[in-house]
Amino acid sequence: MLNKLTISTFNHVALQVADVEHSAHFYANALDLPEIPTPAFDYPVRWFSLGDNRELHLIGREETGTSTGIRGNHFALEVSDIQQAEKHLQAMGVNYMPVKLRPDGARQLFLTDPDGHFIELCEF
């Protein structure tokens, strides 16, 4: 099949939270998740390991909406080739946001499922 999308693994889940520090304390202490280095985003965020190179991203939410826009709650799938993934989505007629560079150098794009849930495709 031409332009086949290749998902290599589940990468992370991101949750919008009201208080990043309070939520980080909960996940670090109640669930004993180890905190991992977080890239320098321009909004409050903390990352935790879920094991096997899977992560939890806690994203600060503001009163007027999330700091990261409507895609704040999402899950991410790692792909082997983001350009091939983009070609596949184009061929399938799927709407998506353009590929952009994350502060840690990962390339990512966002799309939505039929119910509006955001999905991130990322390549490292």
The whole-number average pLDDT for the span 38-67 is 85
* Residue 31, in any domain of the structure: yes
* Residue 2, in any domain of the structure: no
* Residue 99, in any domain of the structure: yes
Is pTM, for the whole model, over 0.85?
no
Mean pLDDT of the chain: 89
At 5, is the pLDDT very low, low, confident or very high (cuts 50, 70, 90)? confident
Q: Provide long-range contacts, Cβ within 8 A and 24+ apart, for 47-56.
A: 47/12, 48/24, 50/12, 50/13, 53/9, 53/11, 54/9, 54/10, 54/11, 54/12, 55/11, 55/12, 55/13, 56/12, 56/13, 56/14, 56/15, 56/27
The whole-number average pLDDT for the span 60-76 is 69
Residue 93, domain extent: 7-123
* Residue 42, in any domain of the structure: yes
Q: In CATH, what number is assigned to the domain containing residue 48?
A: 3.10.180.10
Give how many domains the chain has, as a whole number.
1
